[in-house]
Amino acid sequence: MEDDAPVIYGLEFQARALTAQTAETDAIRFLVGTQSLKFDNQIHIIDFDDENNMINKSVLLHDAGEIWHISGSPADKAVLTTCYNKTSESRVLTCAAVWRMPPEWESGSHESPDDSSNNPQTLELLCHLDNTAHGSVAWWKQGHRDIRLCERTEGGKWGLVVDVWCTELVADGHYLISEKGGKFLSSQRDSGKTKATNVLWEPMGDGKRVISLAENHVLLWDLQESSSKATISSSATLEGKGQLKFTTGKWSPHHNSTQLATANDTAIRGWDLRSMSQIYCIENAHGQLVRDLDFNPNKQYYLASCGDDCKVKFWDVRHISEPVKSLEEHSHWVWSVRYNHSHDQLLLTGSSDSRVILSNMVSISSEPFGHLVDDDDLSDNEENQQEDKGKEPLQDSIIATYEEHEDSVYAVEWSAADPWLFASLSYDGRLVINRVPRALKYRILL
């Protein structure tokens, strides 16, 4: 049973941002964001034709800056977010924004015109999630107080300022009247600008809530008016010694989407989004920096992590003293880890060793004894085989190692439309589309 050959697509610029178009469940589609300092950056829409084993591509202009992170709305396939860097007045600004594709591109009905790369259309900016980078203001309530987050120059120095205003009279102090008629309580300067490095959509949500991770802040945003306006509904701050900074995060699809996992340095933390408080902390989860996280879609307490110690670890967040399992198959930093959305024993990892590894972690999956079949559907012969098969769990194994890349693999993603197909992206701009081996696919299904 011969497997299809991998399909390779080359971008002309370097790239590290990849996402599946989450809301598109009919067509196999990925979005790739480029990183160029000299030229206008782009988002490549990659449509994969499964029948003919070929790629159709379209290009949209992202002239705001080099893209470090990209994510698609779970509800509207035309809407996406990017985190990007841009240079302004000799400063590098890190920003986050919500965008909409042009109408003719969002449907996937276009014929991939030959001149799309030479004359790409521009994304429509819906709103920014990084208010300080654009001089705008974000307000949110805290009791009787209004917290105002804005950028301002004080004493010749630029920085982020948090102003606290009160709508009631208080007993002491001197106040300034705000434009809203409130009373000025205090002003607190931050040492630098808040930089959004990750934007996370609410899993299986209606596309109206996102979280941005900005340095040591978790900001929960409500998107309104067709995503054209964003307001902060709640926030949390990572407290501790030194300059703490989130490296990545993942919004849990379980518990009614009320939990978030974040990584900073070597630690993994869990957050309750209702109270914006920390609920667990795995100190020294990895020997070096934690690079990525992913929740098991079928087991609500299970989380995978990877990092610069070359390891992939699996955690039960109810028992965090030690990992449930640990893998060390890569020879350099592991940048990306992804559970298969349907079959959680299948796990992808991508690393700076330029390899992509597909693992079958069946012993800690939701079906450790294999595919569960209704007894009524089995013949006598099949029942005997099922009994023999069901005596002990199947063994974990490395299914395949993919070596089509020649540079660091920064991202791996499963297709939202086909659970047996995935893409990987290396820094040199090479996108590779591969499939789960047919033999394993049929063994899982049958």
Q: What per-residue confidence (pLDDT) applies to 253?
A: 97
What is the length of the chain? Answer: 446
pLDDT in tens, 99-109: 999 987 755 54
Count other Cβ atoms within 10 Å, centred on residue 278.
14
Q: DSSP letter string over 95-115?
A: EEEEEE--HHHHTS-S---GG
- Report pLDDT for 392: 57
Q: Is residue 388 part of a domain?
A: yes
Q: How far is CA 145 from CA 177, 238, 436, in A?
A: 14, 22, 54
Domain extent at residue 340: 329-409+417-446
Cα Dmax for the chain: 86
Report whether 204 contacts 253 (CB < 8 A). yes
Boundary of a domain, candidates 141, 174, 193:
193
Q: Spell out the residues 6+ positions from residue 109 whose beta carbon is closer than 8 angstroms to its own.
A: none
* One-letter amino acid for residue 160 of the chain: L
Q: Is 352 part of any domain? A: yes
Please tell me the predicted confidence (pLDDT) of residue 111: 47
Residue 373 lies in a domain: yes
- Report d(CA 15, CA 41) in Å as an integer: 10
In the chain, how many domains are there?
2
Q: Phi/psi class of residue 126: alpha, beta or left (left: φ > 0; alpha: ψ in -120 to 50)? A: alpha
43 is a domain residue: no
268 assigned to some structural domain: no
Strand ranges for 168-228 from DSSP E: 183-189, 196-201, 209-214, 217-224
Rg (the chain; Cα; Å): 24
From 145, 163, 193, give the residue that closes a domain: 193
Which pairs count as long-range contacts for 370-373, CB under 8 Å and 24+ apart, including other chains? 370/394, 371/444, 371/445, 371/446
Residue 408's φ and ψ, nearest 5 degrees, are -60, 130
According to the model, what pLDDT value does residue 2 have?
Answer: 76
In the numeric block, which tokens belong to residue 300?
Answer: 């609500």
Residue 315, CA distances (Å) to 203, 225, 319, 320 in order = 20, 39, 8, 7
pLDDT for the residue 418: 97
Q: Would you say residue 95 lies in a domain?
A: no
Give the position of tokens 């596309």.
207
What pLDDT score was predicted for residue 136?
32
| Backbone φ, ψ for residue 199 (5° rounding) | -125, 125
Token pair recorded at residue 368: 């450790």
How many whole angstroms separate alpha carbon 260 and alpha carbon 254?
A: 10
Kindly give, in sequence order, each residue whose CB lies less than 8 Å from that of residue 380, ignoring residues fewer than 6 positions away. none
Q: Does residue 139 belong to any structural domain of this protein?
A: yes
Specify whether the CB–CB gap between 31 and 18 falls below 8 A.
Answer: yes
Give the integer Cα–Cα distance in Å for 252 and 294.
Answer: 8
Q: Is 177 part of any domain?
A: yes
Q: State pLDDT tens for residues 85-95.
A: 988 888 888 99
> How far is Cα 36 from Cα 15, in angstroms, rounded to an integer?
8
pTM for the full model? 0.82
| Residue ranges with strand state E in 300-420 | 302-307, 312-316, 325-327, 334-339, 346-351, 356-360, 397-402, 409-414
Q: Is 26 helix (H, G, I), strand (E, B) or coil?
A: coil
pLDDT for the residue numbered 393: 58
In terms of Cβ atoms closer than 10 Å to its own Cβ (0-12, 13-18, 19+), residue 244 is middle
Q: What is the DSSP letter of 362?
A: G
pLDDT at 73: 96
Q: Is 384 left (phi over 0), alpha (psi -120 to 50) or beta?
A: alpha
Q: Answer yes or no: are the C-beta atoms of 418 and 28 closer than 8 Å.
A: yes
Low-confidence ranges of the chain (pLDDT < 70): 1, 106-118, 130-194, 370-394
The pLDDT of residue 92 is 87
Q: Which domain-ending residue is among 177, 193, 209? A: 193
Residue among 28, 10, 1 at smallest CA distance from 420? 28
